[in-house]
Amino acid sequence: MSKIETIGTGRFLRLLSRDGWEYVERPNVRGIAVIVAVTDDANLLLVEQYRASVDRRVISLPAGLVGDLPGQADEALAAGAIRELEEETGYRAERMELLVAGPHSAGSTSEVATFMRARDLRKVSAGGGDEYEDIVVHEVPLAEAPQWLGQQAGTERLVDPKTYAGIYFALRDDD
- Tens-digit pLDDT profile for residues 113-157: 999 999 999 999 988 877 787 899 999 999 999 999 999 987 689
Q: What is the pLDDT of residues 62-118, one digit of tens each?
A: 999 897 877 888 889 999 999 999 999 999 999 999 999 999 888 898 889 999 999
Confidence of residue 174 (pLDDT cuts 50, 70, 90): low
pTM of the model: 0.91
Q: Grade residue 6 by pLDDT with cuts at 50, 70 and 90.
A: very high
The count of other CB atoms within 10 Å of the CB of residue 34 is 25
Per the DSSP assignment, residues forming a β-bridge with 42 are: none
Instruction: Please name the residues in contact with 48: beta carbons below 8 A apart, sequence gap of 6 or more.
Output: 57, 58, 59, 60, 135, 136, 137, 138, 157
**Residue 88: its pLDDT value, please?**
95
Say whether domain 30-171 belongs to CATH 3.30.428.10.
Answer: no
Q: Which residue has the higher pLDDT, 173 or 73?
A: 73
pLDDT digits (tens, 9 = 90+) for 33-55: 999 999 999 999 999 999 999 99
Element (DSSP H or E) covering residue 140:
strand 136-141
Which one, of 27, 30, 32, 31, lies nearest residue 4 by Cα?
27
Which helix (H) or strand (E) is 116 found in, with range? strand 112-123
Contact 66, 85 (CB under 8 A): no
CB distance 113 to 32 below 8 Å: yes
Quote the CA–CA distance of 66 and 169 in Å, as a whole number: 21
**Which stretches of the chain are DSSP H helices?**
77-89, 145-152, 162-171
pLDDT at residue 82, as a whole number: 97
Close Cβ partners of 81 (under 8 Å, ≥ 6 residues apart): 33, 35, 64, 66, 93, 96, 114, 116, 118
Q: Which residues contact 31 (CB under 8 A, 6 or more apart)?
A: 65, 66, 67, 77, 80, 112, 114
- Yes or no: say if 36 and 45 are a contact pair by the CB < 8 Å rule: no
User: What pLDDT, on the 0 to 100 scale, is given for residue 175?
Assistant: 56
